[in-house]
Amino acid sequence: MFHSKWIFVILAYQFFPCILYGSDKITVSCNNPIFSKVESKKNIYNFSVKMTCYPKIESNTFFYNVVNRYQMKLQESRNIKIKNIVENIIRENMRGKMLSIEEKIYTDEGNLKTKAQLYLLSNSRDKFTYEMRTTEVTGSGNAGNTKQVSEKFQLEKKTGDHKILLQRELLIRKPSIVPKSFFIKKVKEGIASDMKDSVFIHLKRISYKN
């Protein structure tokens, strides 16, 4: 989690955050997350969700060197270790890097240690993609029920406007003593909150300012 000044207000079906970087700011409006039907197999529940956001970015060179900026922010994180980097990856008509990382995540529900493979991709003009999938997850407390996480963050510029599409999929084990309906409700609430935080984290990492 990054430490910057940000505020948001929930109004109807949108929240309107303002991320402040010194004297600069990026204003974002987001639709509420949309969940697919929750499926389960042997007490492992699959949660799939997507959310669209609309940031106001004034810079004309925002996508230039965005992959390296993002990688630099990962390297600065105390909780992330980059174990391997593969350069000059071409994927989805973009060029970038594939990183193998280890991350420590601390939550109120317990702690997680993850290993993941992620792609940082851009065409340097109007599109950036972050795509991550865990290869190993271990944890304590309720957080230990998380078995797999994947996330895709896409930022595009079309006809002068920017659009974010954030997608996430999680495999989570339901404790046997917890009722199904209560479990699904609480997990969705947590994911929805995390989705909003995730937008800020990605924008912070690709911004010019610390």
Does the structure show a pLDDT above 70 at 139? Answer: yes
Beta bridge partners of 128: 122, 155
Does the structure show a pLDDT above 50 at 196? Answer: yes
Average the pLDDT over 31-38 and give the result. Answer: 95
* Sequence spans of domains, the chain: 33-180+195-206
Q: How confident is the model at residue 23 (pLDDT cuts 50, 70, 90)?
A: very low
What percent of the chain lies above the pLDDT cut of 90?
64
Helices and strands (H, E) in the chain, number of each type: 2, 14
Does the structure show a pLDDT above 80 at 109? Answer: no
Residues 34 and 50 sit within 8 Å (Cβ to Cβ): yes
Q: How confident is the model at residue 209 (pLDDT cuts 50, 70, 90)?
A: low
| pLDDT value at residue 8 | 30
Beta-strand pair 34-35/14-15: unpaired
| pLDDT value at residue 207 | 82
pTM of the shown model: 0.86
Looking at residue 169, its amino acid is: E
What percent of the chain lies above the pLDDT cut of 70?
87
Residues 91 and 121 sit within 8 Å (Cβ to Cβ): yes
Query: Please, is 10 exposed, middle or buried when counting C-beta atoms within 10 Å of its C-beta (0-12, 13-18, 19+)?
Result: exposed
Please give the Cα distance from 89 to 94 (Å, whole number). 8
Does the structure show a pLDDT above 50 at 91? Answer: yes
Secondary structure of residue 194 in the 3-state scheme: helix
Mean pLDDT of the chain: 85
- Residue among 149, 180, 152, 174 nearest 164 (CA): 152
Average the pLDDT over 186-197 and give the result. Answer: 90
Please give the Cα distance from 107 to 181 (Å, whole number). 23
Residues 152 and 197 sit within 8 Å (Cβ to Cβ): no
User: For 147-170, how does the pLDDT look when each residue is reduced to its tens digit (9 = 90+)?
Assistant: 999 999 999 998 878 999 999 999
Pick the CATH number of 33-180+195-206 from 3.30.530, 3.40.50, 2.30.30, 2.40.160: 3.30.530
Token pair of 195 as six digits: 């989705």
